[in-house]
Structure 1
Amino acid sequence: MIRSLLLFCGSRAGHDPAHAALADGLGRLCARAGVTLVYGGGRVGLMGIAARACKAEGGRVIGIIPRLLMTTEVAQDGLDELHVVETLHERKALMHRLSDAIIALPGSIGTLDELFESLTWRELGIHDKPIWVLGGNGYWAPLEALLAHIGAAGFGPPHLARLAEPLDNLAALSEKLGETGPRNH
């Protein structure tokens, strides 16, 4: 059972309004499913949209933010928990400890860094949490192609591209979370 979902996503909203709508929907879905949203702690971009949507729907949100990003990502207020850590490495380790599954929405190289570290840890057997990618208009198709290429070129196992499962929409995520309405934590 998934009780907490780790979200990696952009500290910007991007040009396509569908991405912001997706982040909002993800936050609301977590709240309805009784799944705690664990994320980077900022109030900017897709991450802030998802956190505020989850809280607006009555959900639980935990943020983890490095001290150095307190001014650029500006910590979201009103969270159930906000952990301020010293390094990005501490942030990722704590986010992983607090989550049962991982999802990435569109983002930039920070999102990719977090996602790739999660994929690496899964490939090495450090965790066996599901990892999903969700984004409209084929956002993750180049990543899927790259992972398949790495495996086909012999630099990774043949199953490398299957470490991150692409989801088509929020309904697919809802199925993965086993949404049955609010649950107690």
Structure 2
Amino acid sequence: MERQITLIALFAALIAVLGLVPQFTLASGVPITAQGMGIMLCGTVLGARRGALAVLLFLALVALGLPLLAGGRGGLGVFVGPTVGFLVGFPIAAFVAGWIVERMRSTPILTAAFIGAVIGGIPVMYVFGIIGMSVTLDKTIAESALLVTPFIPGDLIKAGLAAALTASLLKARPASVLSRG
């Protein structure tokens, strides 16, 4: 139990650290950051439930005002801006990614983690992000969807990196990949 709590806290910290990687903001106001890969890793490494808990812990710290989001953003204000949908989708994306990896036990971890990271980290997260952008930017769903299309290639790269890191961690420290435990 203590080990699982420690890993949840560690992965919440990992998401925060990935926010330190310099961001690039598109015209839509949504930044391209490495934090999406942290969300994917929460699911692929920790599994569905623990991955979602790590992300919820991270979001709770952001809501308390800690500047943990990319660009040093934090506080309740981020939950009413253009990125609100993505923030809401973060724990669901981690859950879905972890759920897929847990269900694909007979599939090699690299493949399972890539599929989980892609499905959780792109369509699942984007559904929430597009809806949030549509509401906050007063755009149609189609217009908001067009705003996020430039992110897809980068998110596919992040999913590949998350899968490779998950596979490497399983090889080096099998007990640390709880999605396969």
User: What TM-score do you get using the length of structure 1 for normalisation?
Assistant: 0.27
More helix as a share of residues:
2
More strand as a share of residues:
1
